[in-house]
Structure 1
Amino acid sequence: MRGSLLAGALSIGVLMAGAGSAVASGGGNDTSAKLRKAVSVDGIRIHQTALNLFGELKDGNRLAGTPGYRLSADYVELNAKLAGLKTSRQDFTYDLFALADWKKPILDVKRGKSYIPGIAGSIPGGDFGSMVETVSGDLTAPVWAADLVIPSPAPNTSTSGCEASDFAGMPAGAIVLIQRGTCGELTKWLNAQAAGAGAIVYINEGNVGVPGREDPRWFDLTGAGITIPMTAAQVATVADLAGSVRQGLVGKTVRFRIDWRSNPAVPTQNVIAETRGGDPNKVIVVGAHLDSVGTGPGINDNGSGSAALLELAHELRGVYPKNKIRFVWFSAEESGLLGSEAYVASLPESERAKIAANLNFDMIGSPNYVNFVYDGDLSDSPPIGEDVFHPAARPFSATIEKLFLDYFKSQKIPTLPTDFDGRSDYGPFIANGIPAGGLFTGAEGIKTAEQAALFGGTVGEQYDPCYHLGCDNVFNNSNKALDQNSDAAAHVLITLAQSKIPDRPAVTPAPPAARRVATQAHDHRDLLTAIDR
C-alpha cells in the first residue's frame, strides 16, 4: 500500500508538472516586461496545489525528510528538468528536535470539529500542539474531564488531576482533559497515567488577565516518566471539548494522533537547478525553502516561494542570460536555515566568490499581506553585527533592495522595509559576504492600522493567520500578494541576470558558531517551560 500510494502521488505530480509546463509560454522572456507578462498567478497556484496534495497524501505535512517532502523534491526536480535546467541534489542530515511532528497532529471529534494543530502548544494561534519528546500514539477514545474549573477564579485553585476521585469510573484508554492548578503538574499527569488514561490534553489554569496563566504550557518530557501521548492546548480548546461537563465523560469520541520522531541525523536533500548558459563566474542564486513544519503542508510557508521559483524557471525556458541563474529549493529551513547553511558551507571559497547575488523568496502570498522588502541598506533596521551581515555583502545588498523598491514605485505599489537579520535562507549568504535581497509578505506579526491603510486587510490580525499551523494549506493565500511579489521577483531576477555585475572581493566568512545567532527565530526551544513538579 505504501509503495502504491507513493507511486500514485508521484504520478499525480507528473500530471501537475505537465499542466504547469502547458501554462508556460517559453521562448524569449529575456526582459522584465516579457517575463512579468509570462509569469502568472495561475501557474504558481498549480504548483502550490501539487505541493498541498503531496503534504495531504503523506501524513499532512512536508517536513524535511518525510515522504511528503521527498515527493515535493521529486516534483520540483521534474519541473526543473522540463524547464530545460541542469538539476542535482545535495544530501545532508539535520537535527530534528523541537519540531519533530513527523505526521500532522490530529485532535478530531467524531462527526464534529477538527482542531487546528500548531507548535509550542499552539503559539501563535492554533488549538493544540505536541509536547516535545512525547511518546507517539494514534487512538480513538472517549473524552474524560478531570475536575475542570473553567474559567478558574484565581491562580492555583483548580485541583484538576490531583485526586484519585478525578478519575473514578474513567474508561480505560480515555483521552483526559487536565488543568494546571494546586498540585504539581507532573503529579497530575502521573495520576492520569496510573488511572489508565490513553492520552492527555493539558491546559494552563486559564486565569483571565493573569500573566503566565492563559497561554499553553509546552514541555520537554524527557525523563518525566510519561508513557502516554500528551499535547498542550489552548484553554478554549478544552472548554469547547468539555462543553458543560467539568467531571467525567463529556459525551464525545475523539481521534488523537501524535507521531513524534526526534532524530539528530535526519537525511534530506536540497534541490538545485541551473541554466545551461550564462557566465558561470557571475551566478544569481534564487532560493526558497521547500520544507514545511510538521503541523501542516506549509503552502504559504513556503509553498508560495517554492512555487514562484518553479513558475520563473518555466517562463525562462529558451532564455540565455548573461549571468548564470541557479535555483535552489532548500530543505530544513524550519529547523534553523540548515539547508542553506549546508549549501553555502559545501562550497569552497572559489565557488562562493562566483555567486554574485542571492535572491530569497519566503512567504509571498500571506492572506493579510504587507509587501515587505528586505532592508539591504539597513536604513530602517537596528544595528546588525558583522558576524550576521558581512561587510562585503552590504554594498550590493543595498543595490538589490533599490532594484525592488524602484520597481514597486514604478508600478505605484506600496512597500515597507523588513529587518535584514538573517531570519530566512539568505542568512548564510550574507554571513559569508554574498549580497542578497528578497521579499516577504508577513508571518506572525500583527497588521497595524497604518499598514491596513496602505495594503488593505484586517487590523489586529496576523499577516498569515495560519503561520506554522495545520491550516497553512492551499486556501491560505492572497492572489494579489502572489501577483505583485512574483512580478517583482521576475523583474529583479531578469535585471540581475542580464546586467554587468561588479566583481566581489574574496572574504573571510564568520565562524559557524557566530552565524548560528541569526537562526534562533526558528528554534522554539526558548518557549519550553519548566515542569512544576
Structure 2
Amino acid sequence: MKHSISKIIITAIIGLSVIAPIATFATYYTNSQDEKSTNFEMNILKTIDDENMYKHIKSLSKTPRVAGTEQEDAAVDYIKKQFDSYGYKTEVQTFTFNDYTAPHTIELTLDGFLHIVDPSALEYSVSGHVVGEVVVGGLGKANELQHLDLTGKIVLLKRGDISFKEKMLNAANKGAVGVIYYNNAPGMIMGSLGEANHSFIPAVLLTQAEGEKMVKQVNKNPDTQASLTIEGAKSNTNKSHNVIATKKPSNLNSKTKAKHDIIVIGAHHDSVANAPGANDNASGTAMTLELARVFKTIPSDTEIRFITFGAEELGLIGSNHYVNQLSPNEIDRMVANFNLDMVGSKDAGKLILQTMDDKPNLVTELTQVASTKLNGEPTPVNQGDSSDHVPFAKAGIPAALFIHNPAEPWYHKPEDKIDKISKAKLQDVAEIVTLAIMNQTRVEHYAK
C-alpha cells in the first residue's frame, strides 16, 4: 500500500463525492484557491494539441511496426527524437524475445485413412519430416505414456488437463518423433507450445472430429503408419525496445527526494503484421508524446515516466521486461500506470477503463473524477487483461487501460489508417488523463 500524502488527499476527495468534484475540492482549498486552481487546470488543458497527436500518428502509421523489424526501429528513433526535442534525457531500453515464424507447409497423411484433415501448426511447432507408427497416448500425461513404446513413433494426444508443451516433452522424452494433437471440444482452436525448446519434435493440431476419427482408425488398425511434414517454421532471438522519458519531481527536500511517488504514462508502439496500426497503437504512442510535451514545464511533487513499449502484440513482452527490472523501491513508490491503447478511432465506441481484476483503483478513481468534471459523467470501468497495464497490476501497482469500446471494425487490419482517426477523441482522452494526473501530482498549489 502506498502512503504518499498526495494519494491520501485525493482518495479522501474521491470518497467525499464523485458527483460534484468541484464542490469537494473546496474542502481542501479556499474559494479563491479553488478558482485559481480551476483556472490553472483549464489553461493547462488548452495547451493539449490534437493536431500534434494527429501528426505523430500520421508519421508512425506509414507502415506496420512489427516488433524486431526495421520499421519498429524507425518508430523507436522517431519517438526518442520527439522526447529529446522536449528536453528529456531519453533512455532506449533493449530487450530480447523469441521470434517465431509460422510454417508455410503442413502435411499429414495416415495409411488407410480416407477422411480429409486440415492440420494446423501450433505456435513454436518445429520444422521436420517424420514417418512412423501412430500410437494413441490419451492426454499425454507421464503416467499414461510410461508403459508405451514410443521410440521412433508418432503419438496421438488429446488436448486437456496439462499444457501442449508438457504433453510434447513427455512424448519426446519417451522417444517419439512427432505429435498429433486434437481438440477436446468442437470448433477450431489456436495452440501454442509457449516458447521455443530444443527438445521439441514436429507437431500439428486437429479438430475434435478429425482427431476422434483418427483414434478410431488407429485402434482398429494397429501399426498404422503416418507421415508428418512441417516446413518453414523457425524460432530465433530478436530485439525490441522500450523508450523512456522521465520528468523528475520539483522542489523536493532531502526527506522527500528519495520517497517521491512515480506515475507511468505508457502505450505500446508496435503493431501487428499487415496493419499500419494508426489506432493500434500509434494513437496511444502519439498521446504519450503529447502528454510528455505538456507536462514538461508543469512543476509537481511526483516523478512522471513516459514510456512506449515494444512487442506488446507478441504478449506484453516490453512492459513485462520493464516491470521485471524495476527495483523494489521503485515498485513501492509507483502509484499509478495510465495505459493508453487504441484511443483515437472515430469508428470505435465510447471511452472505458479496464482493470485486470475488474476492481477500481487510484487510476480509475482519479479518472472518474476528471471525466465527471470535464464531461459530466464518470468513465465506466470493466475487466480487461490484454494490454500493457497487466504487468503493472500484477506487481501491485494501480493500473488501468484507456480504450474505446466496442473496437473499430478495422482492428488488426490493413484499414487501420490515419483516415480512421478522430481528433476529438484524442483531445478528450488526453484532457481526462491530464486532469487526473494533475489532481494526483499536486500541481494545484503552483497556481496560487
Q: TM-score, normalised by structure 1?
A: 0.50
Contact 1:377 1:398 in 2 (8 A): no
Q: 1:402 to 1:72 in 2, by over 3 A?
A: same
Question: Which position in structure 2 is the counterpart of 1:441?
Answer: 404
Say if 2:437 is the partner of 1:475.
no
Question: What amino acid does structure 2 have at the position aligned with 1:352?
Answer: I
Contact 1:36 1:490 in 2 (8 A): yes
Deviation at 1:468, TM superposition (A): 0.9
Instruction: Give distance in 2, aligned partners of 1:428 and 1:477.
Output: 28
Question: What amino acid does structure 2 have at the position aligned with 1:267?
Answer: K
Question: What amino acid does structure 1 have at the position aligned with 2:80?
Answer: E
Give deviations 1:186-218, integer Å, cap 9, x for gaps. 7xxxxxxxxxxxxxxxxxxxxxxxx989x9x98
Question: Which position in structure 2 is the counterpart of 1:16?
Answer: none
Give deviations 1:33-61, integer Å, cap 9, x for gaps. 223111121110010011013x2xxxxx1
Instruction: Give distance in 1, aligned partners of 2:95 and 2:333.
Output: 23
Instruction: Give distance in 1, aligned partners of 2:388 and 2:398.
Output: 12
Contact 2:354 2:402 in 1 (8 A): no
Contact 2:284 2:341 in 1 (8 A): yes
Q: 1:319 to 1:134 in 2, by over 3 A?
A: same
RMSD: 3.5
Instruction: Give distance in 1, aligned partners of 2:233 and 2:268.
Output: 21
Match of residue 96, structure 2, among 86, 93, 97: 93
Match of residue 293, structure 2, among 305, 314, 317: 314
Q: Which has the larger radius of gyration?
A: 2
Give deviations 1:315-349, integer Å, cap 9, x for gaps. 22322222111101011111111111100001121
Say if 2:247 is the partner of 1:275.
yes
Question: Which position in structure 1 is the counterpart of 2:387?
Answer: 424
Contact 2:270 2:309 in 1 (8 A): yes
Question: Which position in structure 1 is the counterpart of 2:14?
Answer: none
Say if 2:343 is the partner of 1:398.
no
Question: Which position in structure 1 is the counterpart of 2:41?
Answer: 32
Contact 1:275 1:324 in 2 (8 A): yes
SS at match of 1:419: strand
Question: What amino acid does structure 1 have at the position aligned with 2:269?
Answer: L
Contact 2:248 2:302 in 1 (8 A): no
Q: 1:306 to 1:262 in 2, by over 3 A?
A: farther
Question: What amino acid does structure 2 have at the position aligned with 1:48?
Answer: I
Q: Kindly report which structure 2 residues correspond to 1:134-533, keeping only aligned pairs within 5 A, or say none.
A: 134=104, 183-185=116-118, 223=202, 263-278=235-250, 281-374=260-353, 381=358, 398-412=361-375, 417-442=380-405, 445=406, 463-498=407-442
Contact 1:49 1:474 in 2 (8 A): yes
Contact 1:31 1:494 in 2 (8 A): no
For structure 2, the residue ranges without an aligned partner over 5 or more in a row are 1-37, 106-113, 120-184, 193-200, 205-231
Question: Which position in structure 1 is the counterpart of 2:78?
Answer: 75
Q: 1:66 to 1:30 in 2, by over 3 A?
A: farther
Match of residue 52, structure 1, among 39, 51, 61: 61
Instruction: Give distance in 1, aligned partners of 2:376 and 2:427.
Output: 12
Give deviations 1:233-289, integer Å, cap 9, x for gaps. xxxxxxxxxxxxxxxxxxxxxxxxxxx885342111100101144466311111111
Contact 2:67 2:271 in 1 (8 A): yes
Q: 1:321 to 1:465 in 2, by over 3 A?
A: same
Contact 1:86 1:275 in 2 (8 A): no
Question: What amino acid does structure 1 have at the position aligned with 2:83?
Answer: A
Instruction: Give distance in 1, aligned partners of 2:65 and 2:292.
Output: 22
Contact 2:356 2:400 in 1 (8 A): no
SS at match of 2:339: strand
Instruction: Give distance in 1, aligned partners of 2:191 and 2:366.
Output: 45
Deviation at 1:409, TM superposition (A): 2.0
Which segment is superposed worse, 476-485 or 264-273?
476-485
For structure 1, the residue ranges without an aligned partner over 5 or more in a row are 1-28, 56-60, 101-131, 136-180, 187-210, 226-259, 382-393, 446-462, 501-533
Give deviations 1:84-136, integer Å, cap 9, x for gaps. 11211111112333xx5xxxxxxxxxxxxxxxxxxxxxxxxxxxxxxx3226x
Instruction: Give distance in 2, aligned partners of 1:497 and 1:261.
Output: 50
Instruction: Give distance in 1, aligned partners of 2:290 and 2:383.
Output: 26
Instruction: Give distance in 1, aligned partners of 2:87 and 2:249.
Output: 11
Give deviations 1:348-402, integer Å, cap 9, x for gaps. 2122122121111111012233333325596xx4xxxxxxxxxxxx7xx523212
Deviation at 1:31, TM superposition (A): 4.5
Question: What amino acid does structure 1 have at the position aligned with 2:296?
Answer: R
Instruction: Give distance in 1, aligned partners of 2:266 and 2:413.
Output: 23
Instruction: Give distance in 1, aligned partners of 2:237 and 2:425.
Output: 37
Instruction: Give distance in 1, aligned partners of 2:72 and 2:40.
Output: 33
Question: What amino acid does structure 1 have at the position aligned with 2:363?
Answer: I
Instruction: Give distance in 1, aligned partners of 2:104 and 2:330.
Output: 43
Deviation at 1:76, TM superposition (A): 0.5
Give deviations 1:2-37, integer Å, cap 9, x for gaps. xxxxxxxxxxxxxxxxxxxxxxxxxxx995322311
Deviation at 1:490, TM superposition (A): 1.6
Deviation at 1:435, TM superposition (A): 1.2
* Aligned residue pair count: 296
Q: 1:488 to 1:261 in 2, by over 3 A?
A: farther
